[in-house]
Structure 1
Amino acid sequence: MGSGMETSLRYSSQFKTLRIHAKEKLRLDSKTLLQAHAEIETGVGRPSFLCMTIRRFYPDLSASLGVGLEFNKHDKFGYNIRGKKLVALASNGVLGINVKGRCDTDKDFKQRKAKGAVELAWSILDFQKDQDVRIKVGYELLEKVPYFQIRENNWTLNADINGKWNVRFDL
């Protein structure tokens, strides 16, 4: 569980504009982080997303739980809750199954969007010299959509069977 500023450039088939994303992690104790996310659309030059989340990690369970509040340009102010559980398939942690869920609500706690997924994650350390690769193949349970992710050091590509995709470059 690390801490510190993470910055990335993001582009997707959905937004069709380059976005600058920043995430700051502040350690509250050995198992709890406060995460702040912000995103600026370069085309309009103003924030499109702001989020503050408290994440609690449960190492003995290989799980985490987060609750937060967010503001985005489309749905305005709301809340979210998310959980994630890893089931290791290899003792060295390079192969596992992630089970994760998320629920977003509006300011009156009416559900806006819910997601749940199961994914197989495979990390290939030193795929080539100084190159780590992570491959995820998953299924979004509520929308019934298969998807995949390929991450290589600083680059990440996500795509689903419906043709939605996004790419991220971590600075």
Structure 2
Amino acid sequence: METHITYDTTGKQLGVLVKQRLATSDNLQVKVVGVLNTVSGHFEYCAKFRKYLCPPKANLRAAAASPRDYLLSVGRKAQVGLGLTYLSHTDDILAGLMARKQLLVGPATNPIMLKVKAQADFNTHTAQVDGVGRIQLSKTVYNFTHMQDIQGIIGYKAHCNQKGKVILMPYAQIRENNWTLFFDFKGYIGARYDL
């Protein structure tokens, strides 16, 4: 189980975030993410059950042998899944479809990871659909110092809520071994420390 300490400028309260993921050999995945608010003592969680139609890739293999090659790996298939999500704070059950694709771009010696993800969820209580699309670039610098790796992420998220309103949001992350800082370029800042 992963455990993190979290804080952000919206809630302004310290939280303990826990994550657990279980996967089977037949591409079924169960993931539970919960947050314990250390001020109120309230615990909220989200449980996801997914069946992947295309198996997730364990890692991307470089198809290029030379630094002059600029498209390293596109993978054979996008990862596609169907599933159910339970949200404890609203008691909603969502039936959803997700698809994502990862590829490495850039020179073979110094690639950048490109991720594209789309998800649509049908709320079984309200009979409305909620959709999210995301595209992001990430770059990891190994051995930034002799004991530290650094990862930078920049991305763009489009969220279509249940009322049909589309909300566009750029975001970024800076991560080192245990610390992660999140930004949305509109005043939100969040921090997470991995225990």
Which residue does 1:76 correspond to in 2? 91
Letter in 2 for 1:129: H
Q: In terms of Rg, which structure is larger?
A: 2
Alpha-carbon distance in 2 for matches of 1:55, 1:164? 33
- Name stretches of at least 5 consecutive residues in structure 1 with no aligned partner: none
Which residue does 1:25 correspond to in 2? 21
Flag the 1:155–1:63 CA change in 2: closer, same or farther, 3 A: farther
Q: Which of 49, 55, 58 pairs up with 2:56? A: 58
Which residue does 1:121 correspond to in 2? 138
Aligned-residue offset at 1:157: 1.0
| Deviation sequence 1:138-169 (CA, Å, 0-9, x none) | 11234222211111111111111211221111
Alpha-carbon distance in 1 for matches of 2:19, 2:169? 27
Counting strand residues as a fraction of each chain, which structure ranks higher? 1
Is 1:158 the counterpart of 2:182 in the alignment? yes
- TM-score normalised to the size of structure 1? 0.81
Alpha-carbon distance in 1 for matches of 2:111, 2:2? 23
The percent identity for this pair of structures is: 24
Alpha-carbon distance in 1 for matches of 2:111, 2:77? 14
Aligned-residue offset at 1:30: 7.1
4+ residue segments displaced more than 6 Å: none
Alpha-carbon distance in 1 for matches of 2:36, 2:97? 23
Which residue does 1:130 correspond to in 2? 147
Q: Is residue 118–residue 133 contact of structure 2 (8 Å, CA) maintained in 1?
A: yes
- Name stretches of at least 5 consecutive residues in structure 2 with no aligned partner: 58-74, 160-166
